[in-house]
Amino acid sequence: MIPQPDILIVGGGLGGVAAALAACRAGRRVVMTEETDWIGGQLTAQAVPPDEHPWVERFGTTATYRALREGIRAYYRQWYPLRGEALGLTELNPGAGRVSKLCHEPRVALAVLEAMLAPHRASGLLTVLTEHRAVSAEHDNDAITAVTVRDLRTGTLRTVAAPYVIDATETGELLEPAGVEHACGAESHDEFGEPHAPAQAQPGNQQGITVCFALSHHEGQDHTIDRPETYDFWRAYRPEFWPGPLLGFEAPDPRTLEPVPRTFVPNPELDPLDVSADQSADAGDKELWGFRRILARKLHRPGAFDSDITLVNWPLNDYWLKPFVGQEAEALREARQLSLSVLYWLQTEAPRADGGTGFPGLRIRPDVTGTADGLAKAAYVRESRRVKAVTTVVEQDVAIDVVGPYGTKHYRDSVGVGGYRIDLHPSTGGDTYIDIGSVPFEIPLGAMVPRRVRNLLPAGKNIGTTHITNGCYRLHPVEWNVGEVAGALAAHCLAEDVEPHQVQADDKRFEEFARVLDRSGVQRSWPDVRGY
């Protein structure tokens, strides 16, 4: 029997978990659903180490996001055989990957997230329904009245009603059935005047997805998988904007679009303590093994691990032939085949530094991803349906070329901060990379308030951005921040008998809510970052 919640959260990714924590902290009863059997979304089921801004160790996140990061580090210090020099590092990077100052295994993030939720589950405030997916929503008088979810194990349907509903799904799954005005794909240039928007709206033009997987390497062993069903197609596939076959070590540089060779050397001898993960100084993405390495064997006592573990989320396995939103089953099936084809190519045909071909010692790691085949439980989704919100964040608000290097736009209703380049991967409309410098930005509450619907809040990539600005608002710490604010706002509205539109529009009411966020450690504005 599902308890009657105050707040229903659909989607247990980073935004959903943060929303649940905030709502339960406020004493509200919460039901959270999750499509897979792992909460944590990008960090866990999608197996993507965090993408973060360069100041993340000092400022620019919420207190609870910092607690998550430090909890992950504490897990490694407590349970892993770290060598002394690594054990004492305040800013331990367990994988010594270059993509982030905190590269780690999905299961470790899962353990920490479960621990963070555990007290609320024990108190009875939080009910988590894994392997449940929303199938329909009922709505009336500009409000959602109930959501029906299906138990993916048994097929059982459950209908849950709650005063507030938070859509924390990866693709904004509730927006269409709940009748919430929303956008999908690329907006036209005329709608917002964005410099990089196309002349005509392109709803089907969405960033590619990636089915990630983890690898270790064991020289002298043969772990070659069976030849994937569509390997011949992917082996021959050459995008128009690519310098050669997709299955190759040469790919466009996202910033310049010039062809750049990537290197691939499993288990390099470089001391991981010498690795820099500062992408503001060096993108680090040209060395594939080390870019998203999630376990570095040389950080540990000799003999503890016979290989590093690296996470494959590379140009080679970005999939963009079909849009995920609207053609999910077909796109996912083809993306999985692409990732398996990348693995088979690496094992059998990839050029080696010694002049040979193939790395048969590469072993896919089902134990790392928690699946039978070793592919991540869910696709890494970069773009969602987006609410038509009170405030829409557009390219002119964040692009350095428009606002200048210190031109952060300040919002009277700021509820958080973030920082990342506008990073758009190749898309289903045939676009190559769009990579635009952006400034550290604020998150306006208006981008989280639908124009009409009164009791639904977005808690992820479904906030009021555009196809372009989604490229910098879509990363891990921002998703967490948005989710935390959504949970806190729903709880605040229940306590004060107000609605989100009123909180956003009225200065006094917003100031009251802002104090709630300030007390919980939500940073709502940037310090002067010049000189860092």
Task: Quote the CA–CA distance of 111 and 96 in Å, as a whole number.
Answer: 20
Q: What are the pLDDT digits (tens) for 158-175?
A: 999 999 999 999 999 999
- Encode pLDDT of 24-65 as tens digits: 999 999 999 999 999 999 999 999 999 999 999 999 999 999
Kindly state the average pLDDT of the residues 265-273: 94
What's the pLDDT band for 532 if we cut at 50, 70, 90?
A: very low
Mean pLDDT of the chain: 96
Structure tokens belonging to residue 325: 């939103």
Question: Cβ–Cβ contacts within 10 Å for residue 89, how many?
Answer: 14
Confidence of residue 528 (pLDDT cuts 50, 70, 90): confident
Alpha-carbon gap, residue 310 to 323, rounded angstroms: 27
Q: Are 48 and 380 in contact (CB under 8 A)?
A: yes
Beta-bridge partner residues of 243:
none
Which tokens hold the place of 281?
Answer: 């100084």
**Residue 440 pLDDT more than 70?**
yes
Q: What is the 3-state secondary structure (H, E, C) of 256-287?
A: CCCEEECECCCCCCCCHHHCCCCCCCCCCCCE
Asked whether the predicted pLDDT for residue 190 surpasses 90, the reply is yes
User: Residue 364's pLDDT is what?
Assistant: 98
The candidate with the shortest Cα–Cα distance to 295, out of 311, 282, 279, is 311
pLDDT in tens, 314-355: 999 999 999 999 999 999 999 999 999 999 999 999 999 999
Q: What is the pLDDT of residues 469-514, one digit of tens each?
A: 999 999 999 999 999 999 999 999 999 999 999 999 999 999 999 9
Tell me which DSSP letter residue 389 carries. B
DSSP letters spanning 402-415: HH-TT-PPP-TTEE
Q: Check residue 279 and give its pLDDT.
A: 62
DSSP tag of 364:
E
Both structure tokens of 334 = 């083809």
Please give the backbone phi and psi of residue 504, each rounded to the nearest 5 degrees, phi first: -70, -40
Distance, CA of 456 to CA of 308 (rounded, Å): 43
- Calculate mean pLDDT across residues 78-91: 96
Residues pairing with 441 in the sheet = 418
Q: Which domains does the chain have, with CATH numbers?
A: 7-49+104-186+382-519 (3.50.50.60), 209-267+307-369 (no CATH)
Residue 276 is predicted with a pLDDT of 82
Task: Find the mean pLDDT for residues 113-118.
Answer: 98
Q: Which residues are 129's β-sheet partners?
A: 33
Residue 517, pLDDT > 50, answer yes
State mean pLDDT over 141-157: 97
Alpha-carbon distance 95 to 86, whole Å?
11
For the chain, percent of residues with pLDDT exceeding 90: 96
Q: What does the alpha-carbon distance between residue 258 and residue 250 come to, in Å, rounded to a whole number?
A: 10
**Coil/strand/helix, residue 107:** helix
pLDDT of residue 150 exceeding 60: yes
Q: With bands split at pLDDT 50, 70 and 90, how would you rate the model's confidence at 385? A: very high
